[in-house]
Amino acid sequence: MSLGNKIFHRTAFKRTIFFLLCDIILIALSCFLGFLLRFDGAIDPKYFPMIKAFIGLAAPLTIIFFAIERLYSISWSFISIREIIKLGRAIVLSFASLGAILFILKDHELFQGFPRSIIFISASIAFFSTGTLRFAKRIYLYGIKNNRNNNKDASKRNILIVGAGETGEKLARHIIATPNILYSLKGFIDDNPMKQGVLIHGIKVLGKIEELPKIVAQKEIKEIIIAMPSALPKTIKETVELARQAKIEKIKILPGTKEILEEKVSLSNLREISIEDLLGRDPIDIDTHAIKEYITDKIVLVTGAAGSIGSVLCEQILKFKPKKLIALDQRETALFYLKRDLNKFWKNSFLAENPLDFVLADICDKNKIDKIFNKFHPNVVFHAAAYKHVPMMEDAPDEAVKNNIFGTLNVGQTALKYNAEKFVMVSTDKAINPTSIMGASKRMCEKVCVWLNQSGGSPKWGQAPPPASSAGRSEPVPSIVPSTKFCAVRFGNVLGSQGSVVPIFQKQIEKGGPVEVTDSEMKRYFMVTAEACLLIMQAGAIGNSGEVFVLDMGKPVKILDLAREMIRLAGYKPDVDIPIVFTGIRQGEKLFEEIVTENESPTKYEKIFISHLGNNGDDMERILKEFKQALLEMDKERIKELLMSRKH
């Protein structure tokens, strides 16, 4: 490739050069016209040197401020009021700076007697001319070219946008401005009474969401796009049900994220409706200020970082600008992918320096965990590492105790040793009145956290031994004053997490069925991963005395209903195209999971409660000894007996 091709082959570069050259010409012309208008078309030749000097100052100043406002990075096919404001601000700042320079140089021979009104006249012309240049492409796309394409292409799919707010407007603008697009936008629907009948880019708001079936029939709609990022799951579900009534099978949605309103909305943002959109709960209020106080500029360690909860937790923590984030996991492949994803996440974030460290380690390895704490000295620990699959732990109770209980104990006591400020453990609704080995082990983990918070733990279980005296006898052990604040967070199933029912159903549907449901009456609580992680972080902000936080998760969902909904989302009919079979409840499972008991009290945050487990006292040390002895003897039955006897 020649040097010329290397320089000019990129469209973005050529666009920048085009606008740069045009701006220089237009600014020079604006300055000249400023003089021409000021002197009623008759410029005295003595002003010619002044005009040249004026242009010589105005052009580079304006280009600099255009670059500061990033006007050369904007796609002017989608110009809006926001871009016009940026353009106006750049013009005002550049000509104001020019006025200040001319004031300083007022005694220079070139600028003696300079008419100040020329600055305002030239600035106005520059704003009009550079703005017209940038509007020209949009006028072309919206007018001549778009009408030509609409007239000659009868094969476009008629679509309807649900939501006539800012996101819907941006999406409509993108559809209208994109040449050769296969969509024909026929209208909007929105429940806001103030928007009924209003035209947005010439497209009418045709009615409310409840009128969807009628509007679909009238306009021969083939596809709908839901453009309501802040809509509640209930609203989305109602919209989907109405679309199904209208025989619309193609339903797409824009992501429900805050960021979508800050970026250019396009068709590439669209995705298919997912089960998370329909089952997601109404959002809870999160005190972000409280989270910032203990995360920002702190060193944070996440165990089990490559898991479903841990990985999203790492992303959420990064948003609060930690000084360092240590992601720890024992799974090599999962940690590899986490490293790739988080490094990409960091590059697109606001953080100047990469705060990430990735550590391959087992939480049960005392020496390795101690070295990690000694190296990084984390201020905050989020302990998400655990074995979580109920059927697997029924067959391996020794691993449940070793990893869940003693792993928690090891990380917790090491956090105490190195004076971490916070220790937040991820728990589960299966820890309430547990009937499974996994649930009972997590119940014990909660008790371990309470015990560590109250007593600091025993030196025999992870603290360094007391120093020996000159006589060879150990010195008395000083009383331990816990400096680390422990708490746990308990919640239900996370939608789409690894090994959960949602991805299992998806695979079964992809294979054509059958979809396997344990029992027709089985119910579970569900929440989205992001909400679970925010709750964990919120708990860390208010936890300081061994609390177990629980969430009012609303109504449980029937697993059978979930299976049927997922089959419909895949475009099939339940029990017709895809069969559903019942396999029976497995050992350790419940028909209904509990999330709260009678022993709860409210917190200052709505829907977040505290479960009081009581004081474990010296009994915990004896229990841990019994577990350790059973592990040494590899006595699985004894381990099960100990777990189930300590579940309350």
DSSP-assigned letters across all residues of 350-380: S-SS--EEEEE--TT-HHHHHHHHHHH--SE
pTM of full prediction above 0.85: no
Q: Measure Cα distances from 523 to 174, 500, 557, 562 in Å.
A: 43, 14, 5, 10
Residue 230 has pLDDT above 90, yes or no: no
What domains sit in the chain, N to C, each tagged with a CATH number?
Answer: 3-142 (no CATH), 155-273 (3.40.50.720), 288-461+477-492+528-553+597-645 (3.40.50.720)
Longest CA–CA span in the chain (Å) reads 108
Provide the pLDDT for residue 15.
75
- Catalytic residue (one of 186, 402, 422, 430): 430
Residue 371 has pLDDT above 90, yes or no: yes
pLDDT digits (tens, 9 = 90+) for 48-83: 888 888 888 998 999 999 988 888 877 666 666 778
pLDDT digits (tens, 9 = 90+) for 145-163: 555 555 455 567 888 999 8
Residue 252, burial from CB neighbour count under 10 angstroms (0-12, 13-18, 19+) = middle
Range 213-223 average pLDDT? 89
Residue 267 has pLDDT above 80, yes or no: no
Q: Which helix (H) or strand (E) holds 194?
A: none
Residue 407 has pLDDT above 70, yes or no: yes
Q: Are 408 and 425 in contact (CB under 8 A)?
A: yes
Query: Per-residue confidence at 470, pLDDT binned at 50, 70, 90?
Result: very low
Provide the pLDDT for residue 43.
82
Residue 178 has pLDDT above 50, yes or no: yes
Q: Are 308 and 497 in contact (CB under 8 A)?
A: yes
| Per-residue tokens: 405 | 């209980």
Phi, psi (deg, nearest 5) at residue 481: -105, 105
Q: Which of 362-366, 459-463, 555-559, 577-581 has the highest mean pLDDT?
A: 362-366
Provide the pLDDT for residue 2.
45
User: Whole-number mean pLDDT of the chain?
Assistant: 81
Q: Considering only 9-18, 155-164, 170-179, 258-267, which range has the smallest mean pLDDT?
A: 258-267
pLDDT digits (tens, 9 = 90+) for 560-574: 888 888 888 777 888
Whether residue 319 lies in the annotated active site: no
Q: Considering only 275-284, 294-303, 547-556, which range has the smallest mean pLDDT?
A: 275-284
CA distance 131 to 240: 42
Q: What angle do CA 188, 566, 559 make, to 5 degrees?
A: 125
Provide the pLDDT for residue 498.
67
Q: How many CA atoms lie within 13 A of 384 on its CB side?
A: 27
Cβ-proximal residues to 436 (8 Å cutoff; 6+ apart), any chain? 390, 393, 394, 430, 587, 588, 589
pLDDT digits (tens, 9 = 90+) for 431-454: 888 888 998 999 999 999 989 988
Range 202-215 average pLDDT? 89
Provide the pLDDT for residue 155.
63
pLDDT digits (tens, 9 = 90+) for 487-517: 998 877 777 666 678 888 888 888 888 998 8
Q: Considering only 117-126, 216-225, 395-404, 544-553, which range has the smallest mean pLDDT?
A: 544-553
Range 133-137 average pLDDT? 78
Q: Are 216 and 250 in contact (CB under 8 A)?
A: no
Q: Are 321 and 299 in contact (CB under 8 A)?
A: no
pLDDT digits (tens, 9 = 90+) for 231-248: 777 788 888 888 888 888
Residue 578 has pLDDT above 80, yes or no: yes
Q: Measure Cα distances from 458 to 258, 410, 413 in Å.
A: 47, 12, 9
Q: Measure Cα distances from 584 to 185, 521, 578, 587, 589 in Å.
A: 49, 11, 19, 10, 10
Give the strand pairing for 199-200 and 203-207.
Answer: antiparallel
- Buried b / exposed e along 256-295 (16+ C-beta atoms within 10 A): beeebeeeebbeebeeebbbbbbbbbeebebeeebbbebb
Q: What angle do CA 169, 261, 257 make, to 5 degrees?
A: 120
CA distance 280 to 273: 12
CA distance 262 to 188: 22
CA distance 217 to 65: 52
Residues, the chain = 648
Provide the pLDDT for residue 1.
44
Provide the pLDDT for residue 329.
96
Query: Per-residue confidence at 352, pLDDT binned at 50, 70, 90?
Result: low
Provide the pLDDT for residue 643.
87
CA distance 175 to 157: 12
